[in-house]
Amino acid sequence: DKPAGVTSHDVVAQVRQMSGQRRVGHAGTLDPSATGVLIVCLGQATRVAEYLMASDKVYWAQIRLGLSTDTHDAEGEVTATAEVGVGEEEVQEALASFIGSIQQVPPVYSALKHRGTPLYQLARRGITVEREPRSVEIHNVELLDWTPPLLTIRVECSPGTYIRALARDLGQKLGCGAHLQSLTRLASGHFTLEQAVSLDELAEAFAQGN
């Protein structure tokens, strides 16, 4: 259960130190501000990481309407503000329009690589690379709560789907802009948040040889 404020790479480094294993990797990056299921593979299990990454994902997300940022999340600089004049019915309709196979442009700040360099590193240097839309599958979107200007959703989607990009596109569709306020990965394939352990629990288990 990745905590907020650390990168997926940081978690791998901590697990490597705790376990004494040299070969440690993760199966699917979570943004530093996001929490939830991060599959970590040790030793020979690193060979199956790419197959685990190909699993569907489930997310809990909170989206803030009326405020756009350059990173499409709460960490970024505000690029635009607007009045939120939409109701729950319009929000429901807009969310429903994303269900199915859609074309999604990845965020500028993402771990995708351009000629070997992650896009977020280029973006920090002020370099913006054209990103081609990618086909992703949104299996289901459920509106859990609508307290303007915040909405809370549960998303079931294919691997490679950016919830930050979904927030951005939802804001564009509603005409007021939006960004991802917070994100938790509830499941990655068969691995769920209920099964996940915290880094503290993991450290204690390694210390006890459990």
Query: How far is residue 208's CA from residue 202's CA, in Å, rounded to a whole number?
Result: 10
Q: Torsion over CA of 34, 74, 130 and 132, rounded to 10 degrees?
A: 50
C-alpha torsion sign, points 191, 193, 195, 201? positive
Query: How far is residue 179's CA from residue 123's CA, in Å, rounded to a whole number?
Result: 18
Query: Is 31 one of the annotated active-site residues of the chain?
Result: yes
- Residue 191: how many CB atoms within 10 A of its CB? 16
Query: How far is residue 22's CA from residue 36's CA, in Å, rounded to a whole number?
Result: 24
Instruction: Give the chain's length.
Output: 210
Which structure tokens are listed for 187? 């499941």
Quote helix, strand, coil % in the chain, to nearest 5.
Answer: 30, 35, 40
Exactly one of 31, 56, 70, 145 is catalytic; name it: 31
Nearest by Cα to 154 from 109, 129, 187: 187
**Residues labelled catalytic:** 31
